[in-house]
Each structure stands twice: as C-alpha cells, then as structure tokens.
Structure 1
Amino acid sequence: MRKVGFILYPGYSPMGFAVSTAFEVANLQAGEPVYDVRMLSEHGGLVRTSLGFDVATEPFSGDHYDLLVVGGSMQEASAETVEFIRRAPGHCRRIAATCLAAFVLAEAGLLDGRRATTHWIRARELQARYPKVRVEEDRIFIADGPVWTSAGMTAGIDLALALIEEDLGLEAARNVARKLVLYHRRAGGQSQFSSLLELEPKSDRIQSVLTYAKGHLSNRLSVEELAEVAHLSPRQFSRAFQTETGQTPAKAIEHLRLEAARVLMEDTSHTIDVVAQQTGFADRNRMRRAFLRAFGQPPQVIRRAARGMAAVAEDLAEA
C-alpha cells in the first residue's frame, strides 16, 4: 500500500481535498486500500483552512512516504514547514505541489534546475523570485523526475490522475476520472488557457455553438452550419458572435482546432495527417501554417519537444 501525505498549514485551500478524493476513489475502484492517505502539519492537531473550518492532522515525522502533496494556501508556510519539505526527498519517493504551493517547493530548493508550473496568475512572480526554477506558465502539470507541480485550482486533480496512472495504469486513472464525473484527464502539456474560457460568450446561444464546434472539429464548421446551431441567419450569427467574443467565427474555430491538434500531437502517436483530419484542418500543410502562426513552430517540432521532455523525466525517475 502506498502512503500519501497531504501537507497542510494555515490558510490551506479546501480545493486540495478534491485532489485527495482522487486517491480515495482509486481505493474504491481497486476494491482494496492501495493508498493510505494522511493529513499532516507541523505540530499536528487542527489546521484552519482558508474557508475557516478546521481539519485534524498528524504531526510531521520521518516516516517513509511514497508521495507527499503540498497544497496551495492563502498564507506563507512556516520556516519549519519549509525545512520539513526541504528534507522530504530523504524519506519520500515523490513530492508534488498544487497551485501556489510551487512557491513552497521553490523556497525549499526542490525546484532548482527543474521545470515547474503554478497558477498562471503568479507564474511570472515565481520565476522572478526563484530564477533557478524553469517556470513553464502555460502548462496543466509538470513532472520533472520525482518532483511534480500543477497549475491552479482544478489542475491539481489532473496531477493526481497522472500520479494514479503512473502507479496503477491508464485504465485505473480513466476509471477514477469517470467516477469523479470528469470528461477526461487533461494532459500535462495542455495549455492552462482554454480557448472556450478565453472567448467568454455572454449568451447561452453562442456558448452552445462553441460547445458544438469543439465536439465536431472534423466538420467544415462553416458559418452556415454554426448559424443553424444558433438558430440565427448567417449574417445575424456572425454579428452576434463577434460582438460577444471579440473574434470572428473563423478565428475562434481555428483556435479550437489548434488547441485540440496540439494535445493530439503531444500526447498521441497519430500521424500528422490523421491529426489534421481529426481536428478539421483538412491537410497537413494547412495545419502546419496554423501552427507556425500560433506557436512559431511546426507540429513535428512540438511533438519532438514533448517526447524529449517525457524521456528526460523518465530517465530522471529511474536514476
């Protein structure tokens, strides 16, 4: 059984408990306790969360842990907590930080020379305060050897699912995601910035069009097709869409295609032609031009970079 400790300190965000729930569900799915989850703090006893309720914890100890997870807090961690985390690699196999807890790992020196991410809103601050950290602000989560970090808020659940996948396999992680009523586990390389969120339509009518488009990217998705979904004339639809999102339908659809294509390039072995067809670019040349405009690199280079990082992480984990 794998021992997992969640490190709490005053101001701890209750979102961290959603992360711990993934391990609880993994136990339920396995039909036996594969994870022994503990709540830990500097002195043990009750720790007050950012919402004002208290959580019972055990005091820090030198016990061996398969995984320690530091959760984000609205307050700074104490010097004693940082020191415990600094020594953690001596008695735990992996250590992870969700959201702003990356600052605690950085303060402890565990991110020096490593790739890391955090909530996008404070990623540049993390880089400025800790220049030895290789901050990648537009990532859902990153595993660099035994040290894992995630973006803000719900991204911690994606990190937990990735850890479960590493321990128990892909199918187990998928089963946990389904039990949590998640559409899917986002890949670590996926952008923190969802095109759907950035568009921020004001009406359900335009939101339904975007949801339809994301689920039918292999279609041509002409203005006429989208206008029919919105129950508007093409002219009315184009005007309403641009007023609500600030983009033309064509530009918004291209962003959705690019987002989906990048995930497929980084996390599947599909050929470029297959990715282009599945995401509606029709042919590889059109997709290549779109990648160059958006990312400054062709699809092949992005795929090679993602695989290279994965190989480095795997080598470090085995070292």
Structure 2
Amino acid sequence: MHTIPDVSTVAVVIADGILHFELALACELFSSAPPVPVEPWYELAICGTGDVRADGRFLLEPDCGLDRLALADTVIVPGWADVDEDPPADVVDAVRGAHEAGARVASLCTGAFVLAAAGLLDGRRATTHWAHTRALATRFPQVEVDPDVLYVDNGSVLTSAGKAAAMDLCLHLVRRDHGSAVANAVARRLVVPPHRPGGQAQFVATPVPEQHDHPLSELLAWAAQRLDQPLTVEDLARRANMSSRHLGRHFRSMTGTTPLQWLLTQRIRRAQELLETTDESVDAIAEATGMGTATTLRRHFNRTVGVPPDTYRRTFRRRRTDGLESGSA
C-alpha cells in the first residue's frame, strides 16, 4: 500500500559527465509551475560540488552542495555518460545518505548505476537504458535487472529506462504525489502521452509507425471514448476489421500489452480521475468505467493501484484540502 509522502522538495544530482537530456526534462517537469492549481508544488534544487559539464559541452552551476540531498523529499539522479567508470564516490555516498535519511530516490536512464553503486538496488528489481542493462547486471549481480520495462517502482527507490522513459517515470512520480488529473494536465502541457505503464516494453521488434498511420490509431481513440461500455476483444477486432489474433499482434507491437490489459489500464486511470475530481459514488464510477459493479472495480483498483477506491479518494481529497489550507495561510 502506497502512502503519500511529503514531496515538496526535489533535489537533482549533477556531476561531470551527466547527460543533459534527462537533467533538462527533470528540471522542466519539477520546476515549472503546474497548469492546474496545486499546493504545495515542488521546489527544485540542483546539487553538486561545483561547476560541471553535461555531455562535455554544457557548463552547469549547482544551487547547493551534495549535503542538501539529505534534506530532500525526492532525489533525482540523471544519467551518466560513461557507465564503464565508477560514479563519483561523493555522489554515491550522498545519494545513499539521502535514502537513509528518508528520501525517495529515482534514477533516470543510466543513473541506475549510481543507485546500484550505493547499494540501493541490492535485492531489488531495476531497469536502465536497454543498451546498458547487461552491463548493469554484470557489474551488480545482486540487482534483479529487467531489460524489458520502461520503469520500476519499488516505493522509495525507482529506476527508469532511457530518454522518453525518464519522462514516463517523472510523470509517474507526479501521479503518485498529486493524482492522475494533475499528471495528465502536466503531460498535456508537455505534449506527451499522459500515461505509459512502467511494465510496457522499452522497444519492439519493428519500429512503430507514426501514430496517425498505425492501424490501431483510430481504434484506440474509439475505445477510449467508450470505456463505459462492456467492450470485448471481439468488439475491438470487429471495429478494426481484423481477426482477434491479428489484433493481438498489432496491440503487442504498438502498446507492449494485450487488448484486454490495455482496456483495463484505461478504465483504472479513468476511475482515478473520477475519484479525484467528482463526488460520484463508487457504484456510479464502476458503471462509468465499464467495470459493471463496485465489487469488480474495487478488486481491480486495489490490485493495480495498491489501495481501495475509497482510500484513494480520501487521500487525494485530503492532500488537496491540506494544500489549499496551507496556501491560504
């Protein structure tokens, strides 16, 4: 069961050799004001021991030293360019100390090598960019490396694959902290998909065509508008003018999952939004999301999200109320 921590302070670690893409997206997401009212939002701190070069080209100046990590609620470790070299010992020590002090620690791309060096991934499932998963597993055999996912959430320790998956993990953190409605609003501002499950494959055997050219593009939009209906694989196949088996292959290629699992994920996300933004009963939300009954919704919701719908609603309503009260003080 997930609890909602105090998440207002986000510290991003920098050192020579850091990758600028992951650093930039973390700064953009956690430092820019949200497109909807949220109190408190994140306060971002860039932490390092001095001026550093990102990708050997961009000179960066930290806001504060590495000792600031121990006071942060969330620590973000962007990717490192040279994974064959040991990460700086002072960075490893500071990240380990921050976690011991209670911080949630998340790595983006090859930042997982820093978490592994700090011992934070021992006995845990983790991921990194697919090109470096074998190196991570070889150097740190005590880590259960999963090369086939976008990100892994272990509660207080999270890891992501490379590039776009780093954005997926950052949006996942926003969703954990502030709910689906806020995360979706942030995603719309950034013009990125609002939710890609962490278990989705990092890559597929053949390139996915542009969204509007893919055979399933129209089908996904059609289904997303009819989540209140009891759609089946046969319904989707008939709409796409395909056999069920052919549809399954296309679905796996485009989304990394099955048609039924995709539908269930969309229904759960829609239920989250309704729980956060409306006063509709759980029975009404079950009907609106095609779950049929409150019992069915509670079973799937609890298994997927980790808490029952009623608890989820109370948590995010309380967080929003507390934020408004603190903002008006």
Given that 1:187 and 1:267 are in contact with CA atoms closer than 8 Å, whether structure 2 keeps it comes out as no
- Does residue 6 of structure 2 align to residue 6 of structure 1? no
The residue number in structure 2 matching 1:253 is 250
Number of aligned positions between the proteins: 250
The residue number in structure 2 matching 1:54 is 59
- Normalization by structure 2: what TM-score? 0.65
CA distance in 2, matches of 1:267, 1:74: 36
CA distance in 1, matches of 2:201, 2:211: 26
The residue number in structure 2 matching 1:148 is 158
- Does residue 186 of structure 2 align to residue 176 of structure 1? yes
Deviations 1:33-64 (A, max 9, x none): 621101111x13x2111160111102111541
Shift of 1:18: 0.9
Given that 1:13 and 1:74 are in contact with CA atoms closer than 8 Å, whether structure 2 keeps it comes out as yes
Q: 1:18 aligns with which of 25, 30, 41?
A: 25
- Does residue 46 of structure 2 align to residue 39 of structure 1? yes
Q: 1:138 to 1:265 in 2, by over 3 A?
A: farther
Matched position secondary structure for 1:68: strand
Share of identical aligned residues, percent? 31
The residue number in structure 1 matching 2:91 is 81
Q: 1:167 to 1:190 in 2, by over 3 A?
A: same
Structure 2 portions without partners, runs of 5+:
1-6, 224-235, 270-298, 308-329
Q: 1:206 to 1:39 in 2, by over 3 A?
A: closer
Q: 1:254 to 1:59 in 2, by over 3 A?
A: closer
Q: 1:189 to 1:26 in 2, by over 3 A?
A: farther
Deviations 1:206-264 (A, max 9, x none): 945464465567253347xxxxxxxxxxxxxxxxxxxxxxxx97785353484444344
Given that 2:122 and 2:143 are in contact with CA atoms closer than 8 Å, whether structure 1 keeps it comes out as yes
Structure 1 portions without partners, runs of 5+:
224-247, 271-302, 312-319
CA distance in 1, matches of 2:47, 2:263: 38
Query: Structure 1 counterpart of 2:59, which letter?
Result: D
**1:133-282 pair list within 5 angstroms:** 133-194=143-204, 198-199=206-207, 207=213, 209=215, 211-212=217-218, 215=221, 218-220=236-238, 221-222=240-241, 252-253=249-250, 255=252, 256=254, 258-265=257-264, 268=267
Whose strand fraction is larger, Structure 1's or Structure 2's?
1
CA distance in 2, matches of 1:162, 1:308: 14
CA distance in 2, matches of 1:125, 1:147: 20
CA distance in 1, matches of 2:267, 2:146: 21
The residue number in structure 2 matching 1:240 is none
Cα RMSD (Å) of the superposition?
3.5
- Does residue 126 of structure 2 align to residue 116 of structure 1? yes
Given that 2:171 and 2:183 are in contact with CA atoms closer than 8 Å, whether structure 1 keeps it comes out as yes
The residue number in structure 2 matching 1:90 is 100
- Normalization by structure 1: what TM-score? 0.67
Q: 1:254 to 1:94 in 2, by over 3 A?
A: closer
The residue number in structure 1 matching 2:37 is 30
Q: 1:132 to 1:263 in 2, by over 3 A?
A: farther
Q: 1:175 to 1:250 in 2, by over 3 A?
A: closer
Deviations 1:105-139 (A, max 9, x none): 01110000111111112112212221111112111
CA distance in 1, matches of 2:258, 2:72: 37
Deviations 1:256-310 (A, max 9, x none): 484444344567559xxxxxxxxxxxxxxxxxxxxxxxxxxxxxxxx99x94895
Query: Structure 2 counterpart of 1:34, which letter?
Result: W
